[in-house]
Amino acid sequence: MMSLVTFTRNNALPLLRTSITVRIQLNSASLSSLVRLEEKQGYAVVAMHKPPVNSLSLEMIQALSESLSELEKNKCKGFILTSACPGIFSAGLDIREMYQPTEERLKEFWSSLQTLWLQLYGSKMASVALINGHAPAGGCLLAMCCDSRIMVNGKSKIGLNETKLGIVAPFWFKDTFVNTIGVRQSERALQLGSLFTPDEALKIGLVDRVLPDPEAATAVAESELKEFLQIPAMARYLSKMRIREAALKDLLENREKDLNTFVNFATTDAVQKGLGIYLQSLAKKN
């Protein structure tokens, strides 16, 4: 047993009730640095660290879930979700998990993703996504689960580009998108698999602020989170749930069906062929 997530205390007056260092015991020796948790005054920073692109493999998804559970256990009030990999927030789901998979792992992968989404989208904690790089597909989903999105300006793009891979965003990705940018923009962007520049994302409400550099974005993310944390927590959370509860309930009630739909779809010849070609195109680029 090795620790997956280290939770380091660097501040004297935390709201989080942790001792010096909390180590979450998980089941693989190779996972020790996938997510970095840093305690700040009154909140935490959750930084994804799976170079080169923070792809969401099964282990990465589980590491994020465990990190959130750890924060909840420690009565953390809020967190900033960001990346410790320069230029990348997250490249979304790890395509290799879906390409030529075993059924058992594919099921565990999807079920873990469902759990992470339920946890993050329904979180009582306030959250800000500090999007310091590319955020396609699953990366965009993680950001949309937060209460606010601050993006660093530059070449990075954000959006749900699934159709470009010949795959379809599941209904709960779509619901999150619709709740963030509205029906019309979602319908168009989902079909086209649009990836938006920071300024375009700002224009359609996919992100809330665009800052010129990571330092400025970090400062704004912190002040944004503090603004959320100043609101009475229960009132803030219940207000958030007014918007999100229907989508959350829909997945909770249809988890098994969604899992089967995903497994059946992902393992079709057409999808497998498409994913193979996409992986090759990513590799060729290099």
Q: Exposed, middle or buried by CB within 10 Å (0-12, 13-18, 19+), for 254? A: middle
Q: Select the residue whose beta carbon is closest to ligand LP6JUW53 and give its number.
A: 92
- Residue 215 falls in the annotated catalytic set: no
Using the rule CB under 6 A, which residue among 37, 120, 137, 207 binds ligand LP6JUW53?
Answer: 137
CB of 267 to ligand LP6JUW53, least distance (A): 8
User: Which of 103, 227 has the CB closer to ligand LP6JUW53?
Assistant: 103
138 touching ligand LP6JUW53, by CB under 6 A: yes
Closest to 129 measured CA to CA, from 185, 201, 51: 201
Close Cβ partners of 110 (under 8 Å, ≥ 6 residues apart):
258, 259, 262, 263
258 touching ligand LP6JUW53, by CB under 6 A: no
- Residue 162 falls in the annotated catalytic set: yes
CB of 67 to ligand LP6JUW53, least distance (A): 19
Using the rule CB under 6 A, which residue among 39, 66, 70, 94 binds ligand LP6JUW53?
Answer: 94
Using the rule CB under 6 A, which residue among 5, 80, 91, 144 binds ligand LP6JUW53?
Answer: 91
Q: What is the 3-state secondary structure (H, E, C) of 94-157?
A: CHHHHCCCCHHHHHHHHHHHHHHHHHHHCCCCEEEEEECEEEECHHHHHHHHCCEEEEECCCCC
211 touching ligand LP6JUW53, by CB under 6 A: no
95 touching ligand LP6JUW53, by CB under 6 A: yes
5 touching ligand LP6JUW53, by CB under 6 A: no
C-alpha of 168 from chain center: 18
Q: Provide the mask over 188-207, with x wherever binding to ligand LP6JUW53 is found by CB under 6 A and - wherever it is not.
A: --------------------
Give ∠ CA 155-159-165 in degrees, rounded to 5: 105
Closest to 131 measured CA to CA, from 148, 114, 116, 117: 148
* CA–CA dist 121, 123 (Å, integer): 6
Residue 123 has φ and ψ, to the nearest 5°, of -70, 140
C-alpha of 279 from chain center: 21
Closest to 92 measured CA to CA, from 164, 3, 189: 164
User: Which of 158, 225 has the CB closer to ligand LP6JUW53?
Assistant: 158
Using the rule CB under 6 A, which residue among 134, 143, 148, 198 binds ligand LP6JUW53?
Answer: 134
Using CB under 6 A, count the residues that bind ligand LP6JUW53.
29
Query: 46 has which bridge partners?
Result: 37, 81
Name residue 84's amino acid: A
User: Which of 6, 153 has the CB closer to ligand LP6JUW53?
Assistant: 153
- Residue 138 falls in the annotated catalytic set: yes
169 touching ligand LP6JUW53, by CB under 6 A: yes
Residues at the site binding ligand LP6JUW53, with contacts judged by CB under 6 A:
52-53, 55, 88, 91-96, 98, 134, 136-138, 161-162, 165, 167-169, 262, 265-266, 271, 282-283, 285-286
Active site residues: 93, 138, 161-162
